[in-house]
Structure 1
Amino acid sequence: MAGTIGTLAGATLGPAPSRAGVPAPRTQGWQAVPAPGSAPAAQLRRVAAAGPRLAWAVGEENLSAQTQQRALAMLWNGDTWTKTDLSHLGHTRLTDVAGVGRTTAWSVGQPVGDGSPLLRWNGTTWCEAAFPGKGEADVRLNSVAVGPGRQVWICGSRGGAARLLHGNGRRWRWLDPLPVASVNLYRVVVRSPGEVWVSGDRSNGGGWSGLVARWDGAWTVLPPIAGLRLGIADLHSAGPDDVWAVGTEAGVGGPPGRPGNPALSHWDGTAWTRLEAGFTLGSLTGITGDTQGRAAWISGWNFQDQSRSTYLRRDGETWTIVRGPADTAPAPHVNDVTSIPGTTGFWSVGMTRPAPYPPTEAYAERLEA
């Protein structure tokens, strides 16, 4: 296993990473795209695109001490982002979204009462969908992905164990539990019809370490990604020996509001290698691939320079810091990045400030490459 990265005020908490390869920051063609209509405080957590004229983004809005926060969903029609009406549902947060067509999109979110909701986009509105375990108090649906054949994969938990829920919109079944205890799953991605990956964190006795696992009819759990309270927010697999994982290492603690450290790791089929992100305080929030399936862009948050959004772009075998547009938001925080099918472009979403409190609003950027 590679050494742990953890830097605070110049003090390294673990061995230096094995390679850096991060040149000086430079500007790339990311542009802010207005996402109007949310009630502060608001943020978009995840984004999915079916093509250049169809995308979805989800999160929450109206987060304040005096009011009840509400789930937030937006739709891209090729020209503008439009807030979609969720008043008939009453949910408080949507955590993920995935879609491949005008009537084929799915979202999961924060429980209202018992159990997490599963929502389906029917081309006009979001509606609750039935699935085994709906309404059960211990069911949590955390992330959703749609793969070839419009097969839907959802990671979460049921019966006290981390699991995958698999279906086609009509028939669903829970797969075998992940054979690891004390696990939280935050992301599911589909590489091929029979190869699905999940990421999150697992208890290690005194904290937690990063977790990545593969389902291909049975579970394969990769060795934990060592760290001081490290969680994996997202991953990208170009193959069993080429997996990238991004997240945040909380470190040894500190004053309230102390940011963590960005965590970037690569699996070569044998071991994890930890890499520098190019900045030391903040987080890495999402990762997506290019048209060839290679890891291409990582979204992040650079605590030490919040004037623009921060990305890492793949340059051969290294990652280069790229900054978003200037003067478009007070201190933009990007939560997710995804490719736009049928193009070489990308979407990212987040919020106009680093915390979802008033007057923070939903925020989006686009790269037309």
Structure 2
Amino acid sequence: MVVVMKRALSRAAAAGAAAVLAVSLTAQPASAADTWRKVDLPFLWPTARLYKMEAVASDQVWIAGRQGYICWQPVPLVPCVVHSHGNPVVRRWDGARWREYPLLGWNDQGAIWQLAAGGGETWIYGGFDWKYLAKFNGWAFEPASPPAGENVIALRGGPAGVWAVTHKSGAESLYRRANGSWTRAELPAALRYVNDVEARTPTDVWAVGQTQPGRGVGGVREVPAIAHWDGSSWTSIPAHTESGSDARLLHVAPVGPGEVWAATARSLLHWNGTSWTEIPGPPGTAGIHDLITDDAGTPWVVTQRAPTPFGLFRYADGAWEEVELAPDSVVSGLAVVPGTGAMWAFGRTGSSPAVWRDS
């Protein structure tokens, strides 16, 4: 569930890229990797993994995950004989080093799966039973009640504050954190299931998902849906297609007023305010795992593909370019520091978690 925050930047560059319809499906040399460098992590127990990253400022880059996961199987494909869900990982980069903060009320095993920051607040969510929701108070994370007592399934943050996707009795809802409380969003009827919420400004927010809960269920045609929030109300936006296999919208990245990039499981999409342009994903794409735009408005995606678990690509000048940050590295997610264009990435090198920054 790796969700990461996408930030909007140059409209002109993004529009120029989307206008190119002759897409090259051959990955170009990874020259974009030349400016990336690894950021050393603090000590973590073995079998550690990072699942989320949130970049608020150059001295507020958060990561979340777990460490110390154990599953000893004397014979493959049998249940674990010795098993531990591990312990949570939450760290903040302060511009010079990683800082750790207490998780008050934590009495569980497992990971911190969700992390979001916006409107001056930072929230986390996780635990083996998915019940630990907490807000940062400046020195520690304090447990908090979920919106309307519902089950939180996703958190998103950005210039418009923190958003929570919840689930109860088979239905999903979207809540916005404002003035110290949660307010339920009145979404258009078509957007019943939300997969991503991203903001360019406090009055330019996009939410994507689908009408039906298909999410890859065999025989269920997926009906994509997208909506825009202007700071006071939501408006439905025409989707790229009515329905189809892998048609649901999974990710969104606003670029400028009325302009946005989005992604399905296998395609990148660009909305120019009036129509959609669809761009097939990089060769071998089995799923698009993350989407952001850089300071030039260029979209970057993390894809699932064989033989490696994930691949990092950017789409520029009508072609996909694969970016390898380091030998034996796998990128799981991306983040952009608002107002700076500085990009961060997280994943692993070999079997160890890793973080990189574009400097």
Report the TM range for the smaller structure's normalisation. Answer: 0.7 to 0.9
2:148 is paired with a residue of what secondary structure?
A: coil
CA offset digits 1:206-241 (Å, max 9, x no partner): 253554332341341542655533554421112464
The change in CA–CA distance for 1:178 and 1:286 in structure 2 (over 3 A counts) is: same
Residue 335 (structure 1) aligned to one of 323, 332, 335? 332
In structure 2, C-alpha distance between the alignment counterparts of 1:49 and 1:156, rounded to whole Å: 23
The change in CA–CA distance for 1:51 and 1:192 in structure 2 (over 3 A counts) is: closer
The amino acid of 2:293's aligned partner reads G
In structure 2, C-alpha distance between the alignment counterparts of 1:365 and 1:47, rounded to whole Å: 11
> 2:7 — aligned with what?
none
> 1:220 — aligned with what?
236
> 2:287 — aligned with what?
283
> 2:122 — aligned with what?
105
2:28 is paired with a residue of what secondary structure?
A: coil
> 2:66 — aligned with what?
60
Q: Is the 8 A contact 2:102 2:139 kept in 1?
A: no
> 2:298 — aligned with what?
296
Q: Is the 8 A contact 1:287 1:338 kept in 2?
A: no
Residue 274 (structure 1) aligned with residue 278 (structure 2): yes
Q: Is the 8 A contact 1:38 1:361 kept in 2?
A: no
In structure 2, C-alpha distance between the alignment counterparts of 1:219 and 1:159, rounded to whole Å: 26
Q: Is the 8 A contact 2:342 2:358 kept in 1?
A: yes
Residue 361 (structure 1) aligned with residue 345 (structure 2): no
Residue 20 (structure 1) aligned to one of 5, 20, 23? 23
2:96 is paired with a residue of what secondary structure?
A: coil
In structure 2, C-alpha distance between the alignment counterparts of 1:145 and 1:319, rounded to whole Å: 30
CA offset digits 1:14-63 (Å, max 9, x no partner): xxx95314661323222222334333433222211222222101233444
The change in CA–CA distance for 1:192 and 1:100 in structure 2 (over 3 A counts) is: closer
Residue 229 (structure 1) aligned with residue 246 (structure 2): yes
Using the TM superposition, give the Cα deviation of residue 91 of structure 1 relative to its aligned residue in structure 2, in angstroms. Answer: 6.3
Q: Is the 8 A contact 2:48 2:68 kept in 1?
A: yes
Gaps of 5+ in 2: 1-19, 72-82
> 1:172 — aligned with what?
182
Residue 39 (structure 1) aligned with residue 45 (structure 2): yes
Using the TM superposition, give the Cα deviation of residue 196 of structure 1 relative to its aligned residue in structure 2, in angstroms. Answer: 2.1
> 1:259 — aligned with what?
none
In structure 2, C-alpha distance between the alignment counterparts of 1:342 and 1:143, rounded to whole Å: 22
The change in CA–CA distance for 1:71 and 1:46 in structure 2 (over 3 A counts) is: same
The change in CA–CA distance for 1:281 and 1:267 in structure 2 (over 3 A counts) is: same
CA offset digits 1:234-291 (Å, max 9, x no partner): 211124642211352xxxxxxxxxxxxx431222334433213332234332222344
Gaps of 5+ in 1: 1-16, 249-261, 354-359
Structure-2-length-normalised TM-score: 0.73
The change in CA–CA distance for 1:281 and 1:131 in structure 2 (over 3 A counts) is: closer
> 1:187 — aligned with what?
196
Residue 30 (structure 1) aligned with residue 36 (structure 2): yes
In structure 2, C-alpha distance between the alignment counterparts of 1:231 and 1:35, rounded to whole Å: 36
The amino acid of 1:191's aligned partner reads R
Residue 92 (structure 1) aligned with residue 102 (structure 2): no
In structure 2, C-alpha distance between the alignment counterparts of 1:44 and 1:108, rounded to whole Å: 14
Residue 145 (structure 1) aligned to one of 140, 153, 157? 157
Q: Is the 8 A contact 2:121 2:162 kept in 1?
A: no
The change in CA–CA distance for 1:33 and 1:231 in structure 2 (over 3 A counts) is: farther
> 1:155 — aligned with what?
165
Q: CA RMSD in A?
A: 3.4
In structure 1, C-alpha distance between the alignment counterparts of 2:275 and 2:318, rounded to whole Å: 18
Residue 344 (structure 1) aligned to one of 341, 344, 352? 341
| 1:2-17 equivalences in 2 (<5 Å) | none
In structure 2, C-alpha distance between the alignment counterparts of 1:147 and 1:34, rounded to whole Å: 28
Residue 77 (structure 1) aligned to one of 70, 83, 94? 94
The change in CA–CA distance for 1:140 and 1:234 in structure 2 (over 3 A counts) is: same
The change in CA–CA distance for 1:165 and 1:365 in structure 2 (over 3 A counts) is: same
The amino acid of 1:346's aligned partner reads M
Structure of higher RCO (CA pairs closer than 8 Å, 6+ residues apart): 2
